[in-house]
């Protein structure tokens, strides 16, 4: 509006009819009227508000029903997947359908309007399969959160909808397969028809075996249900075709980015799983003073990223594979790893155009995008068997992919117990030399690794701290196996030459939170690297104290092997106790005496104090670390304390602790 303000200057020499102030106000009002009139022409259309059970308009196809009709499919396999296994199983089932005279598609529930499930009956012989993983404390995976919310709120009738569910979980967790069981039960409540029993996959045992066993019973039952016969085709069904790029602008080639091309060169918030932030490593120090393990503390800088985090959240990092292993794979398969390629989906209607960002090089795919360290699943062995020139190798590989007891035992010993990755399998089966593009198609995606954040944003708003232990062991075949992420993190050195090591990362929100009222006591139990989130909690409680807040008792139970070797953060913890931030520091050194002492033993020693804090003072309990043994033993110790000091039976004590969990007063951040 500056153009109007200059007008009075042109009239300076004449006797003004109006005062300068009048003219100023007049032109200002005129300007505002013109601005209003012009902007009205460009007014945004009034948004339409749709009801919950109506599809939203979108440029991308959000109707899986229309897609199924258009492409002649009758089976849709939805997946809830956090680490990629659920998605992998869904892809296998959708490929299977072809062998049984049906046509399937794998689908991410996040990409489709799930209320359209009610229309599935419009397609003859149709079926919805759900491969649903459970995350954390019985939660849905990130991509299934909206579907879970919809299931809880919807009262849509699903009459005529056929479905089955395969659940992925881990028995060591409190809420084993909670998500799969909920989907199975809720779909039935909404009127859908369960055509095959809920499958339960246990990652603490052998998830692959559970899936193969369920799948081998499932397909014959479906053939009977739909009155179809298996085609008997055992030939490999390729999902992608290879295109080699001999003359391509290298600026159009992916070099490790997960979403937008060149996103690592020009970083733009917001940062998430498809667009991680490259955080410079500013600290990388060894935590343990002695011993043969390597425990590390890293700090990454998030200045200027607009990333926010809370104590208890997880930082997700995207590691890369060891270059030596990548080079060996290229060597053994006799390929030029720097060849630029694309793997293009043969199904043009699929939302998933490539198995990983393309075009890229084999080297980038094997380094950044593919999991080449995890022992391959049975379907990979089955598909690769055709390339083994020795009939015995071919027979064994196919046998391992079957549900026959002999085949299961062979897979268990040769692949799982001996911990053979794809390179080890190729080395030990010299007749097996598959084309590298088929191998890349079959390998699962390399996933982000989650670490509990070991800092508080109140104290460290511009950095995130990570505490981790290097994974390194020798397998039965004498091979040294190194953890992908921890080896990669260990090598993220803080350089003096101005070149900073960076870590692609984003934040995953957690329910692991300090009590809303700072005056509530907190009891933290975290041996080993389970100390991580509690470093953040302790920093935050200290900060609250400095702000003059009334802070309740802050009690820590930490455990390690030897006081002089792996007492992590010893100086920080002892200082926090000295200043009164930690009310009581209890440390169990398991191997410093003949009789092993663990955190659960210390809990029993302090039972009177603990019972008062829990039963009378409203304390919040937090457990972090190993789910298989520690978390279970600690929970048992709490049952025993409630039993003894609360005068309860074991059943009542169990219910008492379970009620604390429901109220959010007993939280676990555990892994197995």
Binding site membership for FMN: which residues?
81-86, 133-136, 168-177, 203
- The annotation places the binding site for FAD at 449-452, 467-469, 473, 483-486, 671
Q: What value does the CA radius of gyration of the chain take, rounded to a whole number of Å?
A: 30
Phi-psi category of residue 113: left, alpha or beta, with phi > 0 → left and psi -120 to 50 → alpha = beta
Give the C-alpha separation, 433 to 235, whole Å.
Answer: 18
Token pair recorded at residue 241: 């075709």
Residues 6+ apart with CB under 8 A from 477: 418, 419, 420, 424, 428
Are 668 and 174 within 8 A, CB to CB?
Answer: yes
Of 131, 90, 121, 107, give the one whose Cα is nearest residue 192.
121
The answer, yes or no, to whether the previous bond of 359 is cis (omega within 30 of 0) is yes
Residues acting as catalytic residues: 452, 624, 669, 671
- The annotation places the binding site at 81-86, 133-136, 168-177, 203, 293, 449-452, 467-469, 473, 483-486, 529, 590-591, 596-600, 633, 671
Residues 6+ apart with CB under 8 A from 262: 251
Quickly tell me which residue has 């095959």 as its tokens: 196
Phi-psi category of residue 293: left, alpha or beta, with phi > 0 → left and psi -120 to 50 → alpha = beta
Residues 6+ apart with CB under 8 A from 347: 71, 105, 239
Q: In 3-state terms, what secondary structure has residue 474?
A: strand
Q: In 3-state terms, what secondary structure has residue 529?
A: helix
Phi-psi category of residue 453: left, alpha or beta, with phi > 0 → left and psi -120 to 50 → alpha = beta
Token pair recorded at residue 644: 């003894």
Residues 6+ apart with CB under 8 A from 396: 410, 414
The helix (run of H) or strand (run of E) holding residue 578 is: helix 570-578
């Amino acid at each position: 509006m500056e153009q109007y303000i200059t007008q009075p200057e042109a009239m300076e020499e004449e006797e003004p009819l109006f005062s300068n102030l009048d003219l100023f106000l007049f032109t200002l009002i005129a300007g505002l009227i013109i601005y209003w009139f012009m902007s009205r022409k460009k007014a945004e259309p009034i948004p339409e508000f749709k009801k919950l059970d109506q599809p939203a308009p979108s440029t991308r196809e959000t109707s899986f029903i229309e897609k199924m009709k258009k492409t002649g499919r009758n089976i849709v396999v939805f997946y809830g997947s956090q680490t990629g296994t659920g998605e992998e199983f869904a892809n296998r089932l959708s490929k299977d359908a072809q062998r049984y005279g049906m046509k399937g598609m794998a689908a991410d529930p996040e990409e489709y309007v799930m209320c359209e499930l009610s229309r599935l009956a419009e397609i003859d012989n149709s079926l919805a399969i759900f491969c649903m993983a459970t995350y954390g404390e019985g939660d849905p995976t990130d991509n299934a959160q909206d579907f879970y919310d919809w299931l809880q709120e919807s009262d849509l009738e699903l009459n005529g909808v056929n479905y089955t569910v395969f659940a992925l979980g881990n028995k060591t967790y409190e809420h084993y397969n909670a998500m799969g069981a909920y989907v199975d039960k809720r779909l039935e409540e909404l009127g859908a028809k369960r055509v095959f029993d809920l499958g339960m996959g246990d990652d603490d045992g052998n998830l692959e075996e559970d899936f193969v066993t369920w799948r081998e019973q499932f397909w014959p039952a479906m053939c009977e249900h739909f009155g179809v016969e298996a085609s008997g085709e055992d030939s490999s069904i390729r999902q992608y075709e290879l295109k080699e790029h001999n003359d391509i602008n290298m600026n159009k080639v992916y070099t490790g980015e997960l979403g937008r091309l060149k996103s690592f060169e020009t970083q733009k918030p917001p940062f998430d799983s498809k667009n991680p932030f490259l955080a410079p490593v500013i600290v990388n120090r060894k935590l343990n003073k002695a011993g043969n393990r390597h425990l590390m503390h890293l700090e990454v800088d998030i200045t200027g990223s607009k990333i926010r985090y809370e104590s208890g959240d997880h930082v997700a990092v995207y590691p890369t594979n060891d270059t030596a292993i990548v080079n060996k794979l290229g060597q053994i398969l006799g390929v030029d790893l720097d060849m630029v390629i694309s793997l293009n989906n043969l199904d043009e209607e699929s939302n998933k155009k490539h198995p990983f960002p393309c075009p890229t090089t084999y080297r980038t795919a094997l380094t950044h995008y593919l999991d080449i360290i995890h022992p391959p699943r049975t379907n990979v062995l089955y598909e690769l068997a055709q390339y083994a020139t020795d009939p015995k190798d071919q027979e064994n590989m196919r046998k391992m992919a079957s549900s026959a007891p002999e085949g299961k035992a062979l897979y268990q010993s040769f692949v799982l117990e001996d911990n053979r990755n794809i390179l080890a399998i190729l080395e030990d089966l010299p007749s097996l030399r598959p084309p590298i593009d088929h191998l890349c198609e079959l390998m699962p995606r390399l996933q982000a690794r989650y670490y509990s954040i070991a800092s508080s944003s109140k104290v460290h708003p511009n950095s995130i701290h990570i505490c981790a232990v290097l994974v390194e062991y020798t397998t039965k075949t004498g091979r040294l196996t190194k953890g992908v992420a921890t080896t990669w993190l260990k090598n993220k050195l803080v350089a003096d030459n101005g070149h900073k090591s960076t870590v692609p990362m984003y934040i995953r929100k957690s329910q692991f939170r300090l009590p809303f009222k700072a005056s509530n006591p907190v009891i933290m139990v975290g041996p080993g690297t389970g100390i991580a989130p509690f470093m953040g909690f302790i920093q935050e409680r200290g900060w609250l104290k400095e702000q003059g807040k009334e802070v309740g008792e802050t009690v820590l139970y930490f455990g390690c092997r030897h006081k002089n070797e792996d007492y992590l953060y010893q100086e920080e913890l002892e200082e926090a106790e000295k200043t009164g931030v930690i009310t009581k520091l209890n440390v169990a050194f398991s191997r410093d005496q003949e009789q092993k002492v663990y955190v659960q033993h210390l809990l029993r020693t302090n039972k009177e104090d603990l019972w008062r804090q829990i039963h009378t003072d409203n304390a919040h309990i937090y457990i972090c670390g190993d789910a298989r043994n520690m978390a279970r033993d600690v929970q048992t110790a709490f049952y025993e304390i409630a039993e003894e000091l609360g005068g309860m039976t074991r059943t009542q004590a169990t219910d008492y602790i379970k009620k604390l969990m429901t109220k959010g007063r007993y939280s676990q951040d555990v892994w197995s």
